[in-house]
Amino acid sequence: MFYLPPKKRGESSMPDFLQIERGSVELAVGQRYPTKKNLELRLKMLSVALKFDYNVGYSTPTLLTVHCWIEGCSWRARAPTLGSAPEFFIKSYVKDHSCSVTKRSSRSRQAKPDLLGKLYSEFVGCVGPTVLPCHVADALNKRYGIKMDYWKAHHTLRFARQLVAGSSESGYEDLPAYLYMIRRANPVTLIKLDVDEEDRFKFLFIAFAASIHGYPHMRKVVVVDATYLQGKYKGTLLTASTQDGNFNIFPIAFGVVDTENHESWEWFFKQLNRVIPVDEDLAMISDRHKSIKYAIKKVYPLASRGICTYHLHKNIILRFRTRECYGLVKKAASAYRLLEFNQLFAQIQALDPALHKYLVEADVRLWTRVYFPGNRYNFTTSNIAESLNNVLSPFRGSPIVQLLDAARALLTRWFAARRKNASLMKTTLTRGVEKLLESRVEDAKL
């Protein structure tokens, strides 16, 4: 499957992959079609692409003949079966029309999005997650002169994606088989699929083997987050991640649930507990969602919980509209020493007593480094989780199997590249830490 490459300055607005010749929709003598239905579909696509219509001469279980709807035109095709086999093959075909283009196009077949979707996916371009309806409309117009509005292009792209990746329904139908193959390929991978009393999908948890093996070597700080899915059946993607020794995102586990609530988050953390055991040195970072607070307290009672300071700062700007205190709040959140924090907090109280009260009520143990009961290291925000969600965002509207496989492929690429980089290291510390120390050595000289 192709994906949209990043656009460079000076390139045309037409994506390169849409200009790739994908083969002709034209018929040819000797072509074979598995069934009569396949041949009829190909004829419909041909008539739409070339802007004409045809009449059926004979249509039997063993023979199909068609000719141009303009009487006396030379265009025609004949396709019998191959003996007793169900296959139809093009035995004779006259591709040139002897009628005028204005006459034959005056009764062109009305193309519906499902037919256009098949025409697009098979002969025009790809249906990767970054392809937009405007790309589809532009491509079909340039290739076949087919014009359509945005919504017709939207539905065309939706049908094309279903042909390639399957529908939302088929995604859930294929899910058990996909999970079986994942577990068979690597038995260490942890999978939990929950269904309701009517055997319908409820919750899914998956932690790939590479993440399970790698987590014990990470710092004991886990960032959890949720993002909404955009497919037909919606849902929510839950993630748990941390950072490796080179400050790279290290995904630990993924979950798919119906929505964020006490039940779904508690279920997710119970499964996560099989990968990350309860530990008094463990720190959990998240947004201020009440269900996360509830679930952490219930499943990880010994863990320290912190909130994302980015969301806190954002709320401060929206609620108090005070820019002069914003920098002081950031410094107070990052302060290492109690004396430094108290000085900054006193300045905030003097400048904006209401903001000071809000920060106290937000609980300084959740958003400051100095009062945090555990060790959150450099994890002041949930940015690593947000970044992971952004990488997977093109697949948020895809069938569930495609979403999970995108996560699997992402981990495969990341971990393979990091393994290669690690094998080339000449120092004891990682490159990220070496660069950090270099900058601090320079600062220490000043």
DSSP of 145-192, one letter per residue?
Answer: -----HHHHHHHHHHHHHHHH--HHHHHHHHHHHHHHHHHH-TTSEEE
Residues shown for the chain:
446
CA separation for the pair 105, 110 (Å, rounded): 11
Going across the sheet that includes 92-94, the strands are 54-60, 63-68, 76-80, 92-94
DSSP of 277-336, one letter per residue?
Answer: ---TT-EEEE-S-HHHHHHHHHH-TTSEEEE-HHHHHHHHHHHH--STTHHHHHHHHH--
| Per-residue pLDDT tens over the stretch 30-61 | 999 999 999 998 998 898 888 899 999 999 99
Q: What letter represents residue 124's amino acid?
A: V
Distances in Å between the Cα of 280 and the Cα atoms of 171, 263, 285, 304 are 40, 24, 14, 7
Report pLDDT for 9. 41
User: Whose CA is closest to 111, among 77, 146, 145, 62?
Assistant: 146
Report pLDDT for 17. 33
CA pseudo-torsion sign 364, 366, 372, 378: negative
Show the tokens assigned to 306. 């912190």
Q: Is residue 335 within 8 Å of 370, Cβ to Cβ?
A: yes
pTM attached to this predicted model: 0.74
Neighbour-count burial for 100-117, b at 16+ CB within 10 Å, e otherwise: eeeebeeeebebebbbbb
CA separation for the pair 222, 207 (Å, rounded): 14
Q: How far apart are the first and last CA of the chain?
A: 53
Residues contacting 10, CB < 8 A, separation 6+: none
Show the tokens assigned to 426. 């000449």
Where the chain has pLDDT below 70, the residues are 1-23, 110, 322, 445-446
Cα-flanking dihedrals φ and ψ of residue 274, to 5°? -75, -20
Cα-flanking dihedrals φ and ψ of residue 198, to 5°? -100, 15
Report pLDDT for 11. 40
Q: Three-state SS for 60?
A: strand
CA separation for the pair 86, 129 (Å, rounded): 36
CA separation for the pair 191, 404 (Å, rounded): 12
Burial (0-12, 13-18, 19+ Cβ within 10 Å), 210: buried
Report pLDDT for 18. 36
CA separation for the pair 271, 105 (Å, rounded): 61
Q: Three-state SS for 230?
A: coil
Q: What share of the chain is helix, strand, coil (3-state, %, to 5)?
A: 50, 15, 35
Neighbour-count burial for 306-322, b at 16+ CB within 10 Å, e otherwise: bbbbebbbeebeeeeeb
CA separation for the pair 226, 264 (Å, rounded): 11
Report how many helices (DSSP H) and strands (DSSP E) the chain contains, helices first: 17, 13
Q: Which domains does the chain have, with CATH numbers?
A: 16-165 (no CATH), 171-308+381-422 (3.30.420)
Neighbours of 305 (CB within 10 A): 21
- The residue ranges of DSSP E strands in 296-404, in sequence order, are 304-307
User: Whose CA is closest to 284, among 265, 302, 303, 301?
Assistant: 303
393-396 CB contacts, 8 Å cutoff, 24+ apart = 393/227, 394/128, 394/129, 394/130, 395/129, 396/227, 396/228, 396/229, 396/230, 396/231, 396/237
Show the tokens assigned to 333. 């959140």
CA separation for the pair 316, 386 (Å, rounded): 20
